[in-house]
Amino acid sequence: MTEQDCLFCKIVNGDINADIVFENDSLIAFRDINPKAPTHVLLIPREHIATMNDLEDGHDTLAGELFLTAARIAADEGLADDGYRVVMNCNAAAGQSVFHIHLHLLGGRTMGWPPG
């Protein structure tokens, strides 16, 4: 998968439309096209990073910003008190299907644990 073929790079570039809930210079957050909960937002860096294994020392601020932004969106969506879940799947065994890292923000229903 090259960056040219990457679905989420196409969302970053505006080649594919998405329901964007927040964006800044480093990241974009948009609603999942096939939501697994009443609120299901994906937070992605603008930079193409294929998997969590590809995070490097220079990505520490970016990684933190993904989590901070997820918490702020959760609050905006009214999820902060009841609770919500953030998940990043890495590679096939975890179910990663798009190889541009994304933090799932899920909320609005009760979740089971452990996840499947």
Contact footprint for ligand 5GP (CB under 6 A): 7, 16, 18, 30, 32-34, 42, 89, 95-98
Binding part of the chain for Zn ion, among 6-14, 22-30, 33-41, 75-83 by CB under 5 A, reads: 6-14
Residue 32 interacts, among ligand 5GP, Zn ion, none and using kind-specific CB cut-offs from 5 to 8 Å, with ligand 5GP
Give the start-end residues of each E strand in 33-102: 39-45, 84-87
The answer to whether residue 59 is catalytic is no
Q: Is 86 in the site for Zn ion (CB under 5 A)?
A: no
Nearer residue to ligand 5GP within complex by CB, 7 or 71: 7
Q: Is 63 in the site for Zn ion (CB under 5 A)?
A: no
Measure the CA–CA gap between 72 and 38, rounded to whole angstroms: 17
Cα distances from 39 to residues 59, 69, 108, in angstroms, run 27, 15, 6
* Amino acid letter, 91: N
Q: Is 102 in the site for Zn ion (CB under 5 A)?
A: no
Give the binding-site size for Zn ion (rule: CB under 5 A).
Answer: 5
Q: How far is the CB of 7 from ligand 5GP (least distance, A)?
A: 6
Helix (H) or strand (E) holding 111: none
Measure the CA–CA gap between 97 and 66, rounded to whole angstroms: 19
Q: How far is the CB of 40 from ligand 5GP (least distance, A)?
A: 7
End-to-end CA distance of the chain: give it in Å, rounded: 26
Active site residues: 102
